[in-house]
Amino acid sequence: MDKHPIVDIVVFGSQGDLSKRKLIPALFQLFLKGVLSPHNRIVAITRHTIDQTILLEAFRASTIQPTTSAEHAARWPEFAQHIFPIVCDLEVAESYSALSEFLNTTQSIRIFYFSIPPNLFGTVAKLLKLKNCIHYDSRVVVEKPLGHDFKSAEITNATLAQTFPEDKTFRIDHYLGKETVQNIMALRFANTILEPLWCADRIDYIQITVAETVPVGNRAGYYERTGALRDMVQNHLLQLLCIVAMEPPARLTPYAVRDEKLKVLHSLRPILSHDVVEKTVRGQYCDLQGVGPSYRNEPGVAEDSDTETFVALKAQVDNWRWAGMPIYLRTGKCLKQRRSEIVIQFKEVPHDLFSNTRSMSANRLTILLQPEESIRLRLNGKSPGKGMNLEPLMLNLDSGNRANRKSWEAYERLLLDVIQGDLTLFMRRTDIEAAWQWIDPIIEGWQSRGHQSLPYTAGSWGPVESDQLLAQDSHIWHNPDSL
């Protein structure tokens, strides 16, 4: 008897970049790991007729990499037998007839993955229901962006809710599928040594950085409508903030975990119009040295565009655990290094016994999410030799055999959670809307105050004003080249 649930996974936008780079490779890895039923079917929705051989070759080329073992590559033809292309014009009801006929040959779990623009969510969901593609256990997975502001997010969520109930709606954020992000909860809530220190009494400040080296490129049209605040802060960075700042849930269940994350969003101190100059920095990469890319030169970008490709914020969580402690958020394109990390900077010791020796640094926990994943704790220890000289000691919390074990990719874990119906790592409607309620006043403040994007050189760490944002609190960004 098959021990794994049988599912039909219907991918809308199957020929897009996300499908080729993430979804199909992740499903192939789940197939290799033996956690998928051999009776599963993957339906690749295409807008136009395409030769199945050509489609499968495109999927194979993006999935089988030079690093793929010969043993695994040899299993691709077996996996490819589970992929079925179906042509469907997303806005024409009769186009769904072939999909309906295909799906209704079984009573398997149905997963509809919307890798399509949000303005099509409602239309596709409505037509799926109209053409009898939805049954008692149908689930939908939606990618960001979910809305452009609170009002549009509310409309998008309400539209989806007309077809899919909340407990069947999986709003995906791949950052939450990363091994190290989940390990934050394990470190905090499974170790008595850390949890008593996880508060404003012991921590000086927290920094969350998501830095990319690449320019906007072919996403310029999307970025012109969105900007870094909507694209990255509203979802990725705020979700990381919630994981770091949340209270221990009563149980490790989807509702309990997400309830605690929502409390963090509701506790964020609003950044209103009169706060934006002091608490926010907008930036846009430019060719200031004549050797790099400039956002305004990207195709589809206006010559006088003020869209931010960099943003830094000072956030504060007004509750008993975090009151008075700053949390700095930063993200940007064309920065010096590709790096996503969370830095927990502990306070200095109350009395320095070693003031006559080399400088002693405060303890720091660095949680690196990319380019690789690691957790390191900086302590102070005595240098070898005569005298009481100190030096930093780095404790690698991913050492030994653990570091040699290949972790699951984020999309692998999240897709398996969808198949198993586990909502823990997915965002609720209330989470999305609460995040927008915090973001909207910042955007309104920028507009009302004429708060313009500041130029920064591509390949730098952003505008110098972002350093000044922290300097007013006597803090600095923890860049790898300045540690």
Task: Look up residue 446 and give its two tokens.
Answer: 């920028």
236 is catalytic: yes
Given the structure tokens 């080329």, which residue do they identify?
Answer: 61
What is the distance, to the nearest Å, from the Cα of residue 67 to the centroid of all Cα atoms in its chain?
25
Q: Among 329, 310, 327, 306, which Cα is nearest to 318's?
A: 327
Supply 368's token pair.
């690196």
Locate 302 and state its tokens.
Answer: 């206006």
Cα(85)–Cα(81) distance, rounded to whole angstroms?
11
Tell me whether the omega of the peptide bond preceding residue 371 falls within 30 degrees of 0, making it cis.
yes
Catalytic hit among 82, 174, 236, 451: 236
Q: With CA atoms as reference, report the closest residue to 33 among 75, 2, 70, 61.
A: 75
Distances (CA, A) of 94 to 47, 101, 115, 137, 141: 13, 12, 21, 23, 23
Distance of CA 245 to CAs 75, 311, 362, Å?
A: 43, 21, 20
Residues 6 or more apart whose Cβ sits within 8 Å of residue 436: 147, 149, 150, 153, 234
Q: What angle do CA 278, 283, 287 make, to 5 degrees?
A: 145
- Please identify every residue annotated as catalytic: 236
